[in-house]
Amino acid sequence: MIGLFQSLGDTTLRILEKSGRGTIFLGAMLVGVMEVLRRPGLLIVQIYSVGVLTLLLIIISGIFVGMVLGLQGYTILSDFGAEQTLGVMVAASLVRELGPVVSALLFAGRAGSSITAEIGLMKATDQLSGMEMMAVDPVRRIAAPRFFSGLISMPFLAAIFSMVGVMGGHFVGVGMLGVDDGAFWSQMQASIDYYEDILNGVIKSLVFGFVVTWIAVFEGYDTLPTSEGVSRATTRTVVHSAFAILALDFLLTALMFGDF
């Protein structure tokens, strides 16, 4: 019985300790913005490995998600004789939800895990302590550029996902299933609002980018310096990011579209 309480208390303390460390780490990283601004080269290298290398994955997934939406939407909407609104359905679901959420999940799997593994391996091979010995702050030099590159890349990736998805839906709906081209676009433009839908989608993807890269960088930095520790940290990055994305998505949707 006492053992139960002991393990509960132990877990609670560990979670609190970790979130405390994470917050301090975030603060240190945000201060590192100066270092990033002074050396934009560091940022560009990271945007390449975080953003550009994820681009292909995002484009291909976006096309298929859009095409599936087009097919599924057509089957349901044609029951009501409302195929014309297919464009609205595809665009609204992509811009509001699927664009930010799915691209953030893919981003966590592709870029987040690689950030964690890279930083974790640096720690396991004592590169981080080596930097500290040379009076180079690894948080500013290693962590901050990766964090800001994720923050910058994520909204672009989500927008590209939505754009490619709308094109995929257009290809299936108009090209294959014979929905009217004019109605597809005009109904879409009549229903999708720039501020309410698209800017909110961009805000969502910014928040997801923030959280995912924060988790990824911190898990890598906080890992146990063994090969097993790195592998666990990588897994944790993907799992925790997915949880955080989906939970935050509900919260943000309730704030943006709910009537509270």
Partner 1 sequence: MQSSKTLVTWVGLFVFIGIGGISFLAIHVSNLSANFSGSEGYRLIARFENVGGLKVRSPVTIAGVRIGRVEKIDFDKNRYQAVVEMRINSTYDTLPEGSSASIFTAGLLGEQYIGLEPGGGDEFMQEGDEFEVTQSALVLEEIIGQFLFSKADEVKSQ
The stretch near partner 1 (CB under 8 A) out of 26-34, 123-131, 150-158, 226-234 is 150-158
Among 193, 235, 246, 254, binds partner 1 (CB under 8 A): 193
x/- contact string, 84-123, with partner 1 (CB under 8 A)?
-------x---x----------------------------
Query: Residue 219 has which token pair?
Result: 């898990």
x/- contact string, 54-83, with partner 1 (CB under 8 A)?
-x------------------------x-x-
Among 34, 45, 251, 255, binds partner 1 (CB under 8 A): 45
The stretch near partner 1 (CB under 8 A) out of 116-124, 133-141, 194-202, 222-230 is 194-202
Per DSSP, helices labelled H in the chain are 2-31, 33-38, 40-47, 53-79, 86-92, 99-107, 113-124, 127-133, 138, 144-170, 181-191, 200-221, 227-257
CA distance 103 to 106: 5
Contact 172, 58 (CB under 8 A): no
The stretch near partner 1 (CB under 8 A) out of 6-14, 65-73, 122-130, 184-192 is 184-192
C-alpha distance from residue 110 to each of 15, 48, 114, 245 (Å): 26, 13, 7, 15
210 binds partner 1 (CB under 8 A): no
Contact 184, 86 (CB under 8 A): yes
Q: Tokens 């291909």: give the residue.
A: 60
Among 29, 104, 139, 166, binds partner 1 (CB under 8 A): 166
Query: Residue 59 has which token pair?
Result: 């484009």
257 binds partner 1 (CB under 8 A): no
The distance from CA 199 to its chain's CA centroid, rounded to whole angstroms, is: 16
Q: Can you give the binding site for partner 1, defined by CB under 8 A?
A: 41, 44-45, 47-48, 51-52, 55, 80, 82, 91, 95, 153, 155-157, 159-160, 162-164, 166, 185, 188-190, 192-194, 197-198, 201-202
